[in-house]
Amino acid sequence: MKKRLFTPGPTPVPEHIMLKMAEPIIHHRNPEFQEILTRVNENLKYLFQTTQPVLTLTCSGTGGMEAIFLNLFSPGEKIIVVNGGKFGERWVKLPRVFGIETIEIKNPWGTAPSEEEIVNALKQNPDAKGVCFIHSETSTGTATDIKLLSKVVRENSNAMVVVDGITAIGAHEFRFDEWGIDACVTGSQKGLMIPPGLAFVALSKRAIEATKNSKTPKFYFDLKKALKSFEGNDTPFTPAVSLVIGVDIALQEIRNEGIENVWARHELLANTIRAGVTAIGLKLFSNSPSFAVTPIWLPESVEWKKFNKILKGKYGITVAGGQDDFKDKIFRVSHLGFYDELDMITVIGAIELSLTESGYEFETGSGTKAVQNILSQKK
């Protein structure tokens, strides 16, 4: 059976990148690797749209976020964290472990924070040193307007703007410098199309200054060390060499496609999925849907386990289920990374077939037709 992955991380890895990573390993302190890391460092700046350093850390995205909290803030300091899902919850908890006070803006799952909520939180907490947003919350497929809210933070405070861009970078327009972001992280297994194991952290001038003053203890995640190594296109500790070799190719391809085109492709693919599932009578979960992953309500008559058994077992398609309160109630289809237009016909086709076989009634082919309509209309 042919297998196809539609999960929001790991995302599919292009075959030629897999094979490039399968070439004989090289040593990380040798000129061959330094050449690769130099190019990676340069192209990461392009990906984040910044002239500032973007550091490569060997860890998951959570490790990258921990590094930001540990290096920008000190115990006793206060930050505001927007929580509208599984990862928002985590970013509320994580800083507290290190004595950083977190003020929570809680949004119902599937909704994004409003301008007013941010302004109010800043008014009530004029001493907040940072505000943390999630650009695309993976658990709810919900996008936050980072451009707008970063401006709001800048206009109403001196707080630093921290962005979890783990599932957003490469899918959503993102301009680190122009939008005044202070710190942003992404992971390797997302828009960058390679296996998990690396996190990338961009830091503004103000954030770099903050790393010098932060009193939170750290060693592996000490970004002062990483920044120093970055200048020499090196890393303080042995990096995940094969993954860096993979991300080098992925970044070159993103650059060749053009970052604006990559964003536009993700928007188009998200639109086809939304149209496809809506046409067969399903409802979208989020009221501010992401371009990276689309969560969809299962029809009440359809059981998740039965549906997923057909989708995965018979058609080889892996999607993600719902989490926490929405377990067995929603499913999430990813279109983040290495996907094209035809993949969207494929996945909607498989969803149609699996729903039919689960006993759900609708006009057969209406989903794929809706996808086709959008694709044929695009300029």
Interface residues with its own copies (CB under 8 A) are 3, 5, 7, 9-13, 18-19, 21-28, 30, 58-63, 66, 93-94, 97-99, 187, 189, 195-197, 217-222, 237-243, 318, 320
Give min distance, CB of 5 to its own copies, in A: 7
Give min distance, CB of 180 to its own copies, in A: 27
* Beta strands in 303-351, from DSSP E residues, in sequence order: 317-318, 320-321, 330-334
Q: Assign 3-state DSSP to the chain and report helix, strand, coil percentages, each to 5.
A: 45, 15, 40
Q: What three-state secondary structure class fits 147?
A: helix
Give min distance, CB of 177 to its own copies, in A: 28
C-beta separation of 113 from 105 below 8 A: yes
Give min distance, CB of 189 to its own copies, in A: 7
Q: What is the CA radius of gyration of the chain?
A: 21
Give min distance, CB of 369 to its own copies, in A: 29
Angstrom distance (rounded) from CA 198 to CA 188: 5
Give min distance, CB of 26 to its own copies, in A: 7
CB nearer to its own copies: give 170 or 367: 170
Give min distance, CB of 337 to its own copies, in A: 11
Angstrom distance (rounded) from CA 244 to CA 39: 10
* Beta strands in the chain, from DSSP E residues, in sequence order: 4-5, 54-58, 78-83, 101-106, 130-134, 136-137, 142-143, 160-164, 183-187, 198-203, 293-297, 317-318, 320-321, 330-334
Annotate 292-319 with b (16+ C-beta within 10 A) or e (fewer). bbbbbbbbeebebeebbebbbeebebeb
CB nearer to its own copies: give 75 or 108: 75
CB nearer to its own copies: give 26 or 302: 26
Q: What three-state secondary structure class fits 153?
A: helix
Long-range contacts of 363-370 (CB under 8 A, 24+ apart): 363/280, 366/279, 366/280, 367/276, 367/277, 367/279, 367/280, 368/276, 369/279, 370/272, 370/275, 370/276, 370/278, 370/279
CB nearer to its own copies: give 57 or 160: 57
Which residue, chain included where needed, has tokens 């497929």? Answer: 141
CB nearer to its own copies: give 193 or 275: 193
Angstrom distance (rounded) from CA 41 to CA 34: 10
Give min distance, CB of 241 to its own copies, in A: 5
Dihedral over alpha carbons 263, 40, 205, 58 (to 10 degrees): 100
**176 Cα distance to chain centroid:** 15
Give min distance, CB of 302 to its own copies, in A: 21
CB nearer to its own copies: give 152 or 245: 245
CB nearer to its own copies: give 22 or 148: 22
CB nearer to its own copies: give 241 or 251: 241
CB nearer to its own copies: give 167 or 288: 167
Angstrom distance (rounded) from CA 188 to CA 182: 20
CB nearer to its own copies: give 49 or 318: 318
Give min distance, CB of 100 to its own copies, in A: 10
C-beta separation of 291 from 266 below 8 A: yes
33, 289, 305, 10: which is closest to 172 by C-alpha?
289
